[in-house]
Amino acid sequence: ATLTNRTIEAVADYIKSGAADKIVVMTGAGISTSAGIPDFRSPETGLYANLARLNLPYAEAVFDISYFREKPEPFYTLAHELYPGKYRPTITHSFVKLLHDKGLLLKLFTQNIDCLEREAGVPDDKIIEAHGSFARQSCIECRAPYTEEEMKAHIEAKTIPRCHSCQGLVKPEIVFFGEQLPAEFFRARDLPAESNLAIVIGTSLTVQPFASLPGMVQDGTPRILLNKERVGGLGGRPDDVLVLGDCDDGVRRLCDALGWRDELEALWAE
């Protein structure tokens, strides 16, 4: 085994030894819940458990491209609530920025569309937004781009934006069910195999192809999971470390073991 044992302290020792200079981080909605943004699948608090008011045939329909074509209103109702700008990055986001500042971050793969990793200061070229984001918007028919100002105005007014050239529906470039992931995702897909430490945080690992990333990390490369529950078969390899519970707590414990705690808190407070 690469780690001396399967504890946070052993992971910290591994990082301190200098062996983990190509870290891949994979995140999901769980890293933003403490910012006030619900995740999707938590039984009571998750978004999918609280969409009755939208009268959907099934919860995921709100992010389904065929459903959106027929009924875009539910998505725009939700977008009004989720639109970036109202939320502040969590200490877990700052932890990823700290890894970058220390020159250890190879890549962050996120499924989140809240743009909080950018807001925490992780540079664009280090982030793969696997499910897109609210940063750009375009027509779903002719792909013509649409301005952010206009999109903002529609989302605030809860009205449906239409393409100026073809009258097609416009939507933020969030990846819906039934749509391809961005090309950047596929270009970066080999990076987990090149990493010397993988950190998985706040995701149920239920949506493919993202869910397959931790499996592409080589055997013998430590993988650490910071999550409320065990997911995706993590824990199944000799060098897997499970840190079950709140991820902000897990990140703080890891930074305590690394001697980085003050730096982390200072970065978050900026």
Binding site for ligand OAD (CB under 6 A): 28-30, 33-34, 39-42, 46, 60, 63, 111, 131, 175, 202-204, 206-207, 227-229, 231, 246-247
| Closest CA relative to residue 63, chosen from 140, 206, 211, 177 | 177
* Closer residue to ligand OAD (CB): 161 or 232: 232
Residue 50 CB coordination number (10 Å): 12
Smaller CB separation from ligand OAD, 196 or 268: 268
How many other CB atoms are there within 10 angstroms of residue 9's CB atom?
16
Instruction: Give residue 86's Cα distance to chain centre.
Output: 17
- 24: which strand partners? 107, 198
Nearer Cβ to ligand OAD (147/206): 206
Known catalytic residues?
A: 131
Q: Residue 169 carries which DSSP code?
A: B
Minimum CB–partner distance for residue 55 and ligand OAD (Å): 19
Q: Which residues are annotated as a binding site?
A: 29-33, 39-41, 111-114, 139, 142, 163, 166, 203-204, 227-229, 247
What is the closest distance, in whole angstroms, from the C-beta atom of residue 18 to ligand OAD in the complex? 28
Cβ 254 vs Cβ 243: under 8 Å: yes
Q: Is 134 in a helix, a strand, or coil?
A: strand
Provide, rounded to whole angstroms, the least separation between the CB of residue 133 and ligand OAD: 11
81 dihedral zone (left: phi>0; alpha: psi -120 to 50; beta): alpha
> Cβ distance 82 to 37 under 8 Å?
yes
Paired tokens of 29: 């909605």
Minimum distance from CB of 34 to ligand OAD (Å)?
5
Shortest spacing between CB 246 and ligand OAD, in angstroms? 4
Residue positions in the annotated binding site for NAD(+)?
29-33, 39-41, 111-114, 203-204, 227-229, 247
- 139 closest CA partner among 115, 159, 114, 164: 164
CA–CA dist 177, 167 (Å, integer): 23
Cβ proximity to ligand OAD: between 196 and 248 the closer is: 248
Nearer of residues 204 and 221 to ligand OAD, judged by Cβ: 204
